[in-house]
């Protein structure tokens, strides 16, 4: 039986074979994990309150704002991934605007790229900006 190491780093050349939606798919989960981990470590409250707080940060509208916040900080390669995610052909759910959805997909793609390529320090830096902005003092 073949085993897979989920911690194995993916080369940048291999990343180029991934679709923007694949990068955003994993990036969405990592983004959510960062936010929820921060909230649990800082809040230690009831699960319903933690979920409500996380939901205020992990949604397309908030992620679009986060994308605008971190965009000036992105490297050339990260901007390339951002554009790749932003311009992907996909339909937003009925309850969100196309602009918010495309910006959210863009930041998720960047986070997915950083995660898959093992750039955890950079991911910490960008998510630190997001968390500091949305969860000041929390």
Rounded Cα gap, residues 81 and 24, in angstroms: 10
112: closest CA among 84, 76, 71? 84
* Range among 19-23, 41-45, 84-88 rated most confident: 19-23
19: closest CA among 138, 128, 112, 136? 112
Give residue-wise pLDDT tens across range 70-82.
Answer: 999 999 999 999 9
Residue 122 has a pLDDT of: 97
Over residues 3-7, the mean pLDDT reads: 68
Question: What is the chain's mean pLDDT, rounded?
Answer: 89
Q: Is 124 a catalytic residue?
A: no
Among the listed residues 28, 32, 100, 124, the single catalytic one is: 28
Residue 89 has a pLDDT of: 78
Residue 110 has a pLDDT of: 98
Over residues 2-6, the mean pLDDT reads: 64
Task: Answer whether 38's CB lies under 8 Å from 75's CB.
Answer: no
Domain 19-134 CATH superfamily: Ribonuclease III domain (1.10.1520.10)
Rounded Cα gap, residues 59 and 62, in angstroms: 5
**Is residue 97 over pLDDT 80?**
yes
Instruction: Say what the pTM is.
Output: 0.90
DSSP letters spanning 11-53: PHHHHTTS-HHHHHHHHHHHHHHHHHHHHHHHH---HHHHHHH
């Amino acid at each position: 039986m073949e085993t897979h190491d989920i911690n194995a780093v993916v080369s940048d050349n291999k990343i180029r074979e991934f679709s923007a939606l694949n990068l955003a798919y994993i990036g969405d989960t990592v983004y959510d994990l960062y936010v929820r981990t921060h909230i649990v470590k800082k809040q230690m409250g009831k699960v319903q309150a933690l979920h409500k707080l996380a939901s205020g940060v992990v949604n397309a509208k908030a992620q679009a704002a986060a994308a605008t916040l971190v965009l000036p900080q992105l490297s050339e390669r990260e901007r390339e991934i951002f554009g790749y995610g932003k311009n992907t052909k996909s339909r937003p759910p009925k309850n969100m605007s196309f602009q918010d959805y495309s910006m959210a997909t863009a930041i998720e793609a960047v986070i997915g790229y950083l995660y898959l390529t093992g750039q955890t320090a950079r991911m910490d830096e960008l998510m630190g900006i997001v968390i500091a902005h949305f969860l000041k003092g929390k």
